[in-house]
Amino acid sequence: RKMTVFWCSILVILNFFFPQSDRSVMATSPPADVIVHPLSAGPLVINTWNFLQANLKAWQVLETGGSILDSIEEGCTVCEELQCDGTVGYGGSPDETGETTLDAMIMDGNNLNVGAVGCLRYIKPAMRVARKVLDHTKHTLLVGEKATQFAESFGFKRENLSTEESIQKWKNWKEQGCQPNFWLNMSPDPSTQCGPYNPQDIKKTEDKKIEWGRYNHDTIGMIGIDSQGNIAAGTSTNGAIHKIPGRVGDSPIPGAGAYADSEVGAAAATGDGDVMMRLLPSLIAVEAMRSGATPMEAAHKAIERVSRKYPDFMGAVIAMDKSGEIGAACSGIDEFPFIVSTPGNPGEVRRVTCIKK
């Protein structure tokens, strides 16, 4: 009887200080800046930018019983075929010689295996070639003409990746004195005219900045989780416009373009690839979540780390943990759109306000 009175007293005190309605809110409401998708509700797919058709295709694969790796592959392939924003797939971002080359990567979060291609020439479905690297080799990254030969050995067709539009962009750039470009400390002065160049010892303290943006250099980064908790990530891009031939960006580099670990979550980044390769923002985000950060906190940490070293950085990070909670952060633009598909709500466009300088 004394125990009954004791517990009744405890319940009275709890009801006085924490009414039932308040306790319900406390138990179910996330912080205002955190987006939650409970894993028990089903799978999840997220991608950078407003690439809706790519996301819907990835979601369709998951809904019809496909694996998360198949989902990522198919979603990114759609973006390649649609030439999303001219920055993914063939016919975009010509290099200094007018040629378009492709980078792509896919990562299995269960075993951390990666398949990637860089500076891929003459093969349109770069993501599918990356998947072959993942499934049929012990390697992580194949590049250049030898990657093309690898693709041909699997029956992929050699094709010209240039289009009338991409060739015209290259011609216009040549007519404008090859501005902007990526050369430094060369003669003649690369900030005023085209090459060929020769190296010079005098280092310039000021150079023209490359204006980064959605339509002159970007990536589809896609991350997802299925109902069994398998996590994967993928990227695809045609890289930086007017790049020096042979350049490989961040997209096929694990930890830079994307990273996935089924024990923790996944992240993908978009923006200035040469900068992101130096700081590995996707890996930073995943490791932050491993240490207890929410996906929103992890994405902010990754962006802040890059921006601290490079204040003019333009880019964004999306992140997702193994429970299905997601977040995003960005810098150098006003806001960043991304697409989220969840059960009953496929293809939702969400936006995040970017970190101010």
**Residue closest to 257 by CA, chosen among 67, 350, 126:** 126
Q: Is 192 a catalytic residue?
A: no
**DSSP E strand boundaries for the chain:** 44-48, 102-108, 114-120, 141-143, 186-187, 198-199, 220-225, 231-237, 258-261, 265-271, 315-321, 326-331, 335-342, 345-353
Alpha carbon dihedral 281, 305, 328, 125, in 10-degree steps, equals -20
Q: State the catalytic residue, choosing from 87, 219, 237, 294.
A: 219
Are residues 162 and 94 in contact, defined by beta-carbon separation less than 8 angstroms?
A: yes
Cis omega (within 30 of 0) for bond into 180? yes
Tokens 């006003």 sit on residue: 334
Are residues 147 and 122 in contact, defined by beta-carbon separation less than 8 angstroms?
A: no
Q: Within 13 Å of residue 157, how many CA atoms lie on the same side as its CB? A: 3
Instruction: Please state, in angstroms and rounded to a whole number, the distance separating the CA atoms of residues 116 and 127.
Output: 8
155: left (phi over 0), alpha (psi -120 to 50) or beta: left
Q: Which residues are catalytic?
A: 219
